[in-house]
Amino acid sequence: MRRINLAAPALLLMAGCSMAPPLHIPATPMAEDYKYGALWRNAAPADQQPRGQWWRTFDDPVLDDLIARADEGSPSLAAAVARLDRAHAEARLAGADLAPTLDGQMAISRKRLSAGRPIGPGVPVTADQYILGGALNYELDLWGRVRDSVRASEADAGVEAASLASVRLSLHGALADAYFQLRGLDREGALLRRTVDAYEASDALIRIRHEGGIASGVDRSRSQTQLANAQALFRQIAARRATLENRIATLTGVMPGQFAIAPADTIGALPAIAPGLPSTLLERRPDIAGAQRRMIAANARIGVAKAARFPRIDLALAGGFQASGAPIVSAPTGYWALGPLSAVLNLFDGGRQRARVAVSEAEYDILAANYRETVLNAFQEVEDSLASNAALAAEEADRRRAAQAAARGEELALDRYRDGAADYLEVVTAQTAALAAQQAFITVQTARQRAAITLVRALGGGAQNGAAPAPR
């Protein structure tokens, strides 16, 4: 009996054990600053950035409404939410193993006992049997198998939380990107509409001059060709816009046939985006948070695999009341049973348990390498986006000057043609150059808006409220 009393404290100490190795998040070297971040950070300090709803920095109510509709109707977002709910339920299911199970039993039966029953011959007996009781079962988690399983399930839930944040960020980014492409086409369509009107006026002038014998048939043909090409470009823009409109409808969870966005010849605000310090990227990016959770889960499963090599100890307790008649609940009818206290130890399995441990450790190493790769890719995406934004800002200034110069050249060519100082080929050349320059200017403005969205996605959003929580 004394040996049992000495062993009891040891068992209690072992109950707090875990076979999982210490968790080490791989260290990733990082610079003190972004390579291309100076221009952007000086434009707007990080503490002035809105938290969470980054799309509001574009100051576009239509975009705000579209994203709100996407949050409510997107099937992909709904699926991600359901996966997170499932992960939380699985974590609760794993956590239930930490508590004992209690089963209740109630049975009523009627039996006829044989006259030759073992207790002695006699008259056959018919009796009613009543049972009211319960049973308690509990696994003594001495090696931490159950607790490590719970940790792994909780980490899996964290992975799904990070996945939900990634899906939401990707959805918002894709929607904003499609929307600004559509608005770019609206501006290009408005440009082509004005161009067609101008070409029609020029064609009318050429027709009058041709009928008067002032303009040649070649000038007339060139004018008609120029007008027809502009009309064809306008129809191309309309078709591309319809495609983008249908994509936006799908992203918001609406049937394309029941969805429309009114055209607008405007350009929204272009916010300056402060990337912050490189170290904050590790906290913002949902994919990095998800990679960390996968490592935590894999580390816990190493403990589960190691614990399987030790005995599994189960304790059972049963009790209740049993009677052949009323009253059923009374002291003489009570019964109880303690046990069995069972311990199952695998003595030989051909190396299966050692192999499972090796598999778990290899899985952890894989996820650790994936984590480092995820971090490096995140920094690359930010650097690429910052460089692209800086280049596009300079390109926009160049395109603006080119468009202004081409517009002046078009006006001069028309004036020279009206004065008879040039033929219509000079006008056509100037018009073509002006249209191309204006289209390029609109394209680069749209590209800057899209690049800003790409930078936001690379940074993990405007804030951390949509990301998975930091590991504990």
β 342-344/125-140 pair status: unpaired
Q: Contact, 196 vs 231, CB < 8 A? A: yes
Cis geometry, peptide bond prior to residue 29 (ω within 30 degrees of 0): no
Is 72 a residue whose pLDDT tops 90? yes
Confidence band, pLDDT 50/70/90 cuts, at residue 422: confident
Residue with tokens 């916010």: 271
pTM comes to 0.80
Q: What percent of the chain has pLDDT over 70?
A: 84
Q: Contact, 373 vs 422, CB < 8 A? A: no
pLDDT of 31: 64
- Rounded Cα distance, 291 and 299, in Å: 12
* Pick from 17-21, 89-93, 366-370, 396-400: least confident: 17-21
pLDDT tens digits along 154-203 = 999 999 999 999 999 999 999 999 999 999 999 999 999 999 999 998 88
Is 125 within a domain? no
- Amino acid (one-letter) located at 194: R
Is 226 within a domain? yes
- Rounded Cα distance, 141 and 304, in Å: 11
DSSP string computed for 193-217: HHHHHHHHHHHHHHHHHHHTTSS-H
- Rounded Cα distance, 452 and 462, in Å: 11
Confidence band, pLDDT 50/70/90 cuts, at residue 265: confident
Q: Contact, 26 vs 372, CB < 8 A? A: yes
pLDDT of 409: 94
What's the whole-number average pLDDT of the chain? 83
Q: Contact, 407 vs 153, CB < 8 A? A: no
- Rounded Cα distance, 302 and 390, in Å: 46
User: Greater confidence, 310 or 395?
Assistant: 395
Is 127 within a domain? no
pLDDT of 36: 57
Please count the other Cβ atoms lying within 10 Å of the Cβ belonging to residue 388. 18
Is 115 within a domain? no
Confidence band, pLDDT 50/70/90 cuts, at residue 332: low
Q: Contact, 190 vs 121, CB < 8 A? A: no
Please count the other Cβ atoms lying within 10 Å of the Cβ belonging to residue 123. 6
Q: Compute the CA torsion angle 239, 241, 244, 248 (nearest 10 deg).
A: -130
Phi-psi region of 144 (alpha: psi -120 to 50; beta: other; left: phi over 0): left
Contacts of the segment 53-61: beta carbons below 8 A, 24+ positions apart: 53/462, 54/172, 54/456, 54/461, 54/462, 54/463, 55/172, 55/176, 57/269, 57/271, 57/273, 57/462, 58/176, 58/268, 58/269, 58/270, 58/271, 58/449, 58/452, 59/268, 59/269, 60/179, 60/268, 60/269
Count of domains for the chain? 1
- Can you give the residue range of the structural domain that contains 392? 24-97+146-309+352-458
Across the range 216-241, mean pLDDT stands at: 92
pLDDT of 5: 40
- Rounded Cα distance, 58 and 71, in Å: 18
**Domain of residue 410, CATH code:** 1.20.1600.10
pLDDT tens digits along 25-69 = 777 666 666 665 543 333 333 333 334 788 988 889 999 999 999
Is 323 within a domain? no
pLDDT of 124: 53
Please count the other Cβ atoms lying within 10 Å of the Cβ belonging to residue 45. 11
Question: In 229-242, which positions are buried (b, 16+ CB within 10 angstroms) versus exposed (e)?
Answer: ebeebbeebeebbe
42-56, 88-102, 203-217, 326-340, range with greatest mean pLDDT: 88-102
Is 304 within a domain? yes
Is 470 within a domain? no
pLDDT tens digits along 281-309 = 777 889 999 999 999 999 999 998 988 88
Token pair listed for 287 = 């994919």
User: Greater confidence, 303 or 112?
Assistant: 303
Is 138 within a domain? no
User: Greater confidence, 2 or 191?
Assistant: 191
